């Protein structure tokens, strides 16, 4: 079975009747939404909020009830993927282009379950380019200020035009190579005027579920 699917199906096992569920975005979250849809058809009663238009459309096709933030106060569980995750469960996200909505949903969640295959855990973050969502106005200046932090910033493209997030913003992929101090870098990036947010999800993941090539699944919990 696909490693991402293994992790996703294990994560969905934590969802119970009556829960509010955050739906992630990307190739791994796709499997979680699909499994939730299957369980909803079998009688599972949940409500959900999606982190992208793509995930919302997928969920609606599967019969998962979608609500807005005006309909609830907190989210019980969010299930989402990651691009990198270290031993302290610090995460880089945003490869799928939905980092801001993913972070908003994660911040409102009582539990954030990160689902990945066994290629995503790393000793140190940074090999995967760090996505940063920026407003289009003045983006050339914003890129230069990101570069001053020690990265090679690349404006993400889609069909020969800048990739646009669901929020109407650009995504800059920042090639650091290594991120020695994620907490400091997170603050430095978000202090740049024109930056909306960045893909460092720090101290947010409560559990990571890893699907492995041999068909097994392992879990790690964040230490208090």
Residues 6 or more apart whose Cβ sits within 8 Å of residue 110 = 74, 75, 76, 77
Residue 102 annotated in active site: yes
Q: What are phi and psi of 154, to 5 degrees?
A: -125, 120
Distances (CA, A) of 167 to 35, 140, 151, 213: 27, 19, 24, 36
Looking at 35, 56, 84, 102, which residue is catalytic?
102
In which element (H, E) is residue 32 found?
A: helix 27-41
Residue in this structure with the two tokens 């409102």, named with its chain if needed:
108
C-beta neighbour count of 220 within 10 angstroms: 16
Q: What is the dihedral of CA 149, 151, 154, 155, to 10 degrees?
A: -20
Give me the residues paired with residue 45 across strands.
Answer: none
Burial class (CB in 10 A: 0-12, 13-18, 19+), 222: middle
Residue 71 burial (CB < 10 Å; 0-12/13-18/19+)? exposed
Residue 204: both structure tokens together: 């947010």
**Residues annotated catalytic, as ranges:** 102
């Amino acid at each position: 079975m696909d490693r991402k699917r293994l992790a996703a199906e294990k994560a969905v096992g934590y969802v119970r009747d009556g829960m509010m569920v955050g739906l992630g975005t990307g190739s791994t979250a796709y499997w979680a939404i699909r499994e939730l849809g299957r369980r909803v058809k079998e009688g599972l009663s949940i409500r959900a909020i999606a982190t992208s238009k793509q995930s919302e459309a997928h969920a609606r096709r599967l019969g998962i009830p979608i609500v807005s933030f005006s309909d609830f106060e907190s989210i019980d569980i969010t299930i989402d993927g990651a691009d990198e995750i270290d031993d302290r469960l610090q995460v880089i996200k945003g490869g799928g282009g939905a980092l801001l909505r993913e972070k908003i949903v994660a911040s409102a969640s009582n539990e954030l379950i990160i689902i990945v295959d066994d290629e995503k855990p790393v000793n140190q973050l940074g090999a995967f380019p760090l996505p940063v969502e920026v407003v289009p106005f003045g983006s050339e200046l914003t890129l230069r200020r990101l570069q001053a932090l020690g990265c090679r910033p690349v404006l993400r493209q889609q069909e020969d035009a800048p990739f646009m997030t669901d929020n109407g913003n650009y995504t800059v992929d920042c090639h650091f190579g290594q991120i020695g101090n994620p907490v400091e870098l997170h603050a430095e990036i978000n202090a740049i005027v024109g930056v909306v947010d960045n893909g460092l999800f720090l101290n947010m993941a409560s559990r990571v579920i890893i699907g492995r090539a041999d068909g097994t699944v392992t879990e790690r919990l964040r230490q208090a």
